[in-house]
Amino acid sequence: MSVSAVSLEGQRLPEFPDREPWIAPGCDLGWVTDRLARLSEGPAPRWWWRAFWISLLGSALLVALLAYQISVGVGVWGNNRPVMWGWDIINFVWWIGIGHAGTLISAMLFLLRQRWRTAVHRAAEAMTIFAVLCAAIYPAVHVGRVWFDWWLLPLPNSYGPVWPQFRSPLMWDLFALGTYFIVSVLFCYTGLIPDLAVLRDRARTKLGQWVYGLLALGWTGSARQWSHYQKAYLLLAGLSTALVVSVHSIVALNFAASQLPGWHTTLFPPYFVVGAIVSGLGMVLTLLIPLRRLAELDDVITLRHIDCLGKLTLAMCSLLGYAYGTELFMAWYSGNPFERFAVLHRATGPCAGAYWGMIGCCLVVPQLLWWPKVRRNPAMVWVIALLINVGMWLERYVIVVGVLERDFLPPNWSAYWPTWADVGTYVGTFGLFMTCFLLFMRFLPLVPIFEVKTTLPQADPQQPQGSPKLGGQT
């Protein structure tokens, strides 16, 4: 593709900041379409099959273990009294945290006109949906009598009627999660429509044409459609951003509405939102860094993207550190000995390892991201992201188990160990997550085709020729 030259003689070319391009030099619009659509066309690469079978095995494990747990009882897990919530809720909060960042990264960055989001936001959104799916398994099956879960819905009934307890944060959670999931799916799907049209147009099989055609909702790319589309997308982005904050605040209220020292604190909602962003960023990086190598997307997801994500991670981790500090300060400042004990216990009691691990992984290690060299070293960023995931898991462990194992009366103090079924179920959720994610990238464009194009110099109306210095084509 070439752009016809316009005579610019006598005119001064606008000054462009000396910036790295978002997409590697030499990539034109056609290349982008070919490259990104190729992921879902043609035979799947060998690495994909390998990853897929392993993930499918993990999903099978999940199904088997859930059948075991549901047929035997919650006792197959390590939960006890007083630690009535264990890995089930830890993993729920962990997955939901991951599930929050995707939409947040996508929607918030969209609202803030961060153009670099284009390369990563679809992956993040897909991650969101599947993480929420994994998360939703836990509250659904961790209850004692799974088959009565539907009682949580305020359905008309003949029992009096008996309604759910609207004062319970678990009740709010259902609605918050449900709304969030629906909006996330809508948001992701809306973003997909123009790309689905591309796939439809490129499809070689009847089935492909038919399915993609159906999903593309008759997209033709007319100006009128684009105008509607952008309005809708903007609205959904605004809604999603608000929802992300509200949903994770409500997850935080699951804890904060109780009266346990260590849970009952007003800090929790913002603390959880920040934590969710951190864990989501960690997961996005954990997924994308190997993926850009495996799927040969280095030119689309460039070091500059990773650099940006790194900066964002650093900012969020520092904010999280601030929350940790506030927790300590408030425990001291409250003058409540039970609060103080709860905080001291975390740092010195049986869960001290988890506590210091959390501080190390979520606060100390990410400080390495201050150095541009680290941020631009994918291997190092990947290790840091992995540690952040671990740290965020430990944070939830400290919050759930660390508080429950030492509450008000010393005779109730106890200890908690997970069982093999706990571990297996957790591993299984990874299987499910990866299975879904791999299928998504196999059949849908994981990197938004049309949006990436907007970051190309060719797409910039202010620069009809593109910047020669930066590799624009003449």
Partner 1 sequence: MNLEHQSPEADPISPEVARSKPDDEPAAGQTQRHYWRSLQQWAELARWDSQPQQERGGTAEAWAEPVSRRHFVKLMSASLLLAGFGCTGCRRPEEPILPFSTQPPGYVHGLSQYYATAMPTQTGAVPLLVKVHEGRPIKIEGNPLHPDSNGGTDLFAQASILNLYDPDRVTQFKHAGQPVSRTEALDTLADLAKQFAANQGAGLAVLLQRSSSPSRERLIRALRARLPRAGWYVYDPVDFSRAELAARLAFGRPVRPYCRLDQARVIVALDWDFLGTEDNQHVAIRQFAQGRRLLKPTDPMNRLYVVESLLTLTGAQADHRLVLPPSAIIQAAAFLCDRLLGPAGAPLLSALRQAGPVSDQAAAWLAGCAADLLKPEHRGHSLVFAGHRQPLAVHLAAQAINAALGNIGQTVVYHAAAAEPFETLAQLRQALDAGAVQTLVILGGNPVYDAPADFDWGRTQRKAKTVLRLGYYEDETSAAADWLLPQAHYLEAWGDARTSDGTLLPVQPVIQPLFGGLSELEVLARLGALEPVDPYHIVRATFRELVGAAQSEELWKRFLHDGFLPGSAAKPEPVQFDFIAAARATEVTAEPPPSKDALEVVFSRDLKVDDGRYNNNGWLQELPDPITKLTWDNAILISPATAQALGLPRLQPAGPDWRVPVVQVTVADRTLTGPAWVQPGMADFVLGLTLGYGRSRTGRVGQGTGYNAYALRSWAAPNFVPGAKLKLTTQTYQLACTQSHGALEGRGAVREANREEYQRQPNLALELDHPAAHGPGLAHGQRRPLYPNPLDQPGPDGRTPRQRALHAWGMCIDLTACVGCGACVIACQSENNIPIVGKDQVARGREMHWLRLDRYYATGPAASQPQALAQVQVIHQPMLCQHCEAAPCESVCPFNATVHDEEGLNVMAYNRCVGTRYCSNNCPYKVRRFNYLDYHRRPLYLLRGPVYASPLVHRTEGQWDLSRWWRHPDGSLRPKTEWELLKLVQNPDVTVRMRGVMEKCTFCTQRIEQAKIANKMGAGPSKAGPLPDGAVLTACQQACPAGAIVFGNLKDPNSHVAQLKRQGRNYVVLEWLLTQPRVSYLARIRNPNPAMPDYVLPPLSRLEPEASGRQPSAES
Run of H or E including 249: helix 223-256
Q: From residue 383 to residue 422, what is the string marking binding to partner 1 with x (rule CB under 8 A)?
A: ---------------------xx-xxxxxxxxxxx-xx--
Q: Does 143 bind partner 1 (CB under 8 A)?
A: yes
Segment lying near partner 1 (by CB under 8 A), choices 29-37, 334-342, 371-379, 427-435:
334-342
Peptide bond preceding 43 in cis form (omega within 30 of 0): no
Q: In angstroms, what CA-CA distances link 254 with 136, 139, 189, 305, 422?
A: 15, 12, 30, 35, 21
- Is residue 282 within 8 Å of residue 388, measured between CB atoms? yes
Task: State how far the Cα of 19 lies from the Cα of 307, in Å rounded to an integer.
Answer: 13
**Shortest distance in whole angstroms from residue 348 CB to partner 1:** 4
Q: Nearer Cβ to partner 1, position 258 or 467? A: 258
Q: Give the interface segment with partner 1, choosing from 66-74, 108-116, 281-289, 358-366 (CB under 8 A).
A: 66-74
CB 155 → partner 1: shortest distance, Å? 12
Residues with Cβ within 8 Å of residue 144, at least 6 apart in sequence: 73, 74
Q: Quick one: which of 31, 460, 452, 119 has its CA closest to 303?
A: 119
The backbone region for 17, taken as left when phi is positive above 0, alpha when psi lies in -120 to 50, beta otherwise, is beta
* Interface of this chain with partner 1, residues 82 to 101, rule: CB under 8 A: 82-85
Q: Which is nearer to partner 1, 283 or 399 (CB)?
A: 399
The 287-306 contact track toward partner 1, x by CB under 8 A, reads --------------------
Q: Does 76 bind partner 1 (CB under 8 A)?
A: yes
CA 330 to CA 366: how far, in whole Å? 25
Binding segment for partner 1 (CB under 8 A), chosen from 64-72, 200-208, 274-282, 377-385, is: 64-72
Longest dimension (CA), the chain: 87
Q: Which residues of 431-443 are buried (b: 16+ CB within 10 A; e: fewer)?
A: bbbbbbbbebbee
Stretch that binds partner 1, among 96-104, 298-306, 348-356, 443-451 (CB under 8 A): 348-356
Q: Taking CB under 8 A as the rule, which mask of x and - marks residues 147-186 in contact with partner 1? A: -xx-xx---------xxxx-xxxxx--x------------
345 binds partner 1 (CB under 8 A): yes
Question: Could you give the CA distance from residue 330 to residue 265 in angstroms, rounded to a whole number?
Answer: 9
The verdict on 275 binding partner 1 (CB under 8 A) reads no
Q: Contact 445/125 with Cβ under 8 angstroms?
A: no
Which residues are near partner 1 by CB under 8 A?
A: 67-68, 71-76, 78-85, 139, 142-146, 148-149, 151-152, 162-165, 167-171, 174, 254, 257-260, 264, 334-338, 341, 344-345, 347-350, 404-405, 407-417, 419-420
